[in-house]
Structure 1
Amino acid sequence: MKLGILIISIIFLTGCNKFLNTRPNLKINYFLQKKIIERNLYNWNNLIKEASQKYKVDEKLIKSIIYAESSGNPNAKSSSNAIGLMQIKPSAAGLEVYRLYGKKGQPSIKELYNPKENINIGTAYIHFLEKKFTRIQNKEVMRSAIIVAYVNGMSGLLKIFSKNSKQAITIINTMTMQSFCTYIKKNIQQNKHFLI
């Protein structure tokens, strides 16, 4: 259930929502929830700005991920053990960020519930994904790929296109934003077994 909600949130955040058939009452509920979530996000603006500047990651992207992942709730925890504002899994994104910055182990649960640490680790992971996806030529598609990879893992995204990561990037480079969104929407549920 949460995967479906998350996919819909990401589709809305990446601009692919025109491919969904939404009923008017869903839109009303979405906009009521949006105001509440935006108030929650306001609490974290300074931390988001600081992390954005440190890692040179767009503030809007950080906010979008917090919006979709936790609705601005620093105490959020998923059934798959993703924790905090940016829903960091200690053994996945947390471990990767620690490895990148020469730290041993992985972040503690306590560390991930700390909003400043959570946003810092989540933003560092976005920065890592941006570097990995520099070969994606269409910047709009690249941004969407980063969001999908953030939620599903980089290998989870690439394996939807090809088992070979270089071939996957080549395929993504042939796509428009519309075709990328359509492909993701169609294939993400069919390939859930690849996802983290």
Structure 2
Amino acid sequence: MPRLRTLALPTLLPLLLSACSTDQAVNYSKSYAKNHVKNYATNAALNELGPAGDAIAIGMNLEKDTIGFEALVHLLLKEARVNWGDEKKSSSKEYVKYTNHYRTRVFVDFEAGSVHVETLDRQDLRKAIAAILLTPYAPDQVDLFSDKDVPVGEEPMLYGQVLDHESQPIRWQWRALRYADYLIDRQMSSRKSAKGQVYAVDFSLVEDHLSQREYQYASLVRKYSKVYAVEESLIYAVIRTESSFNPYAVSSSNAYGLMQIIPKTAGRDVFDKVKNLPGQPSKSWLFQPHNNIDTGTAYLALLDNHYLKNIRNPLSRKYTTISAYNGGAGNVFATFDRNRDRAVQKINRLQPNQVYWALTKKHPRDESRRYLEKVSSAQKDFYKGKI
């Protein structure tokens, strides 16, 4: 079959049924799934999608990450509803991990600097607290979309960002378990829910947790700033706005890593126009900090030097680049005129502060309006030594 873009199921099914019988379709898609997504989605997750999930892959050259992501999210949300009555999952700035048959879960809010551990099984609370304290920075090993236990061994991602009751960083299991006992003895709370009694503890990251995460990536930011001629302060500002330096950042739109790269859009664009590589980056590739910062910085340069190159004023072009990183160059132009050439002409007649005003007040997307404000504010913090 020819290569097709992903289609909505109502559109896709007629094409599938016209090409082969139902049995052939199901057998083909199951074979495809088992051969190509076994590293990203369990058979249970794929089965949960039923016939619709079977049909998605038929005759289409879909990326294994995409199939795996959708399958695992589907199963996770189902289990969350069954056990907790909600659909909470990881996001760009919040790490969420389920264990213990989905009856225990942990939340790390990297923006607010808080940790919440809760369980429906009182006896699992100690283990869950220790697990988050020892969770490694290993996005390729920690499965956010299943109830698998977290592997330990590497330096914890929260090392130095959490201090125990003796004001010590937590590196080893004995200290993690001892701190867990301390928290349970003094800070455990309980509440009744429709799913049963919930036992929980809350604790905070250290005050400078954000700066501790930031400086882990200083050498990478410096390197790719030079490679692509993009300001270090802008790279830092984008990372803070996109993920608050959450190493496990993932969004509902399949954006991954520190700079929240969507493989099929920005990732594919960078591969095609900057790196001269076929296809698009994978989820596991983008979860590696050096790849993610490389790709995100390359995309900022691509926007500045290619898509928005005809905007003459450097500051105006910078504002449009930041806005386009979030909402696309097309929406930047649409803020000023439906016709791109006329949009560029109008932008070039404006002062930078007028361009900024338009993008933060008239941009078609509310999120993009706020995004330019947040990144600009974060970049100022860099100059003040706050980032």
Change (3 A) 1:139 1:34: farther
Q: Verify: 1:127 aligned to 2:311, yes or no.
A: no
Partner Cα distance (2:247, 2:350) in 1: 36
Equivalent residue for 1:162?
337
Equivalent residue for 1:94?
267
- Of structures 1 and 2, the one with the larger relative CO (CA 8 A, separation 6+) is 1
- Structure 1: state its 5+ residue gaps: 1-28
What is the one-letter code of the residue matched to 2:228?
Y
Equivalent residue for 1:173?
348
Percent identity between the aligned chains? 34
Equivalent residue for 2:281?
107
Q: Decide which moves more: 143-152 or 130-139.
A: 130-139
| Divergent runs of 4+, >3 A | 33-36
Q: Counterpart of 1:155 in 2: which secondary structure?
A: helix
State the shift of 1:126 in Å.
0.9
- Structure 2: state its 5+ residue gaps: 1-111, 113-205, 369-387
Q: Looking at CA atoms only, which structure, 1 or 2, has the larger radius of gyration?
A: 2
Query: TM-score, normalised to structure 2's length?
Result: 0.39
State the shift of 1:131 in Å.
0.6
Equivalent residue for 2:194?
none
State the shift of 1:162 in Å.
1.9
What do the CA deviations read for 1:137-189 (whole angstroms, capped 9, x no partner)?
2222211111001111111211222222222111111222322222112222x
What is the one-letter code of the residue matched to 1:123?
T
State the shift of 1:127 in Å.
1.0
Change (3 A) 1:129 1:34: farther
Q: Decide which moves more: 112-121 or 175-184.
A: 175-184
**Alignment partner of 2:311 out of 136, 143, 148:** 136
**Alignment partner of 1:184 out of 353, 356, 359:** 359
Equivalent residue for 1:56?
229
What is the one-letter code of the residue matched to 1:112?
L
What is the one-letter code of the residue matched to 1:125?
Y
Partner Cα distance (1:36, 1:161) in 2: 40
Equivalent residue for 2:248?
75
Coordinate RMSD, CA, aligned? 2.3
More helix by proportion, 1 or 2?
A: 1
Partner Cα distance (1:149, 1:63) in 2: 17
State the shift of 1:34 in Å.
9.7
**Alignment partner of 1:118 out of 275, 285, 292:** 292
Partner Cα distance (1:138, 1:36) in 2: 37
Partner Cα distance (2:311, 2:322) in 1: 14
Q: Decide which moves more: 36-45 or 76-85.
A: 36-45
**Alignment partner of 1:37 out of 210, 213, 219:** 210
Change (3 A) 1:34 1:159: farther
Q: Counterpart of 1:135 in 2: which secondary structure?
A: coil
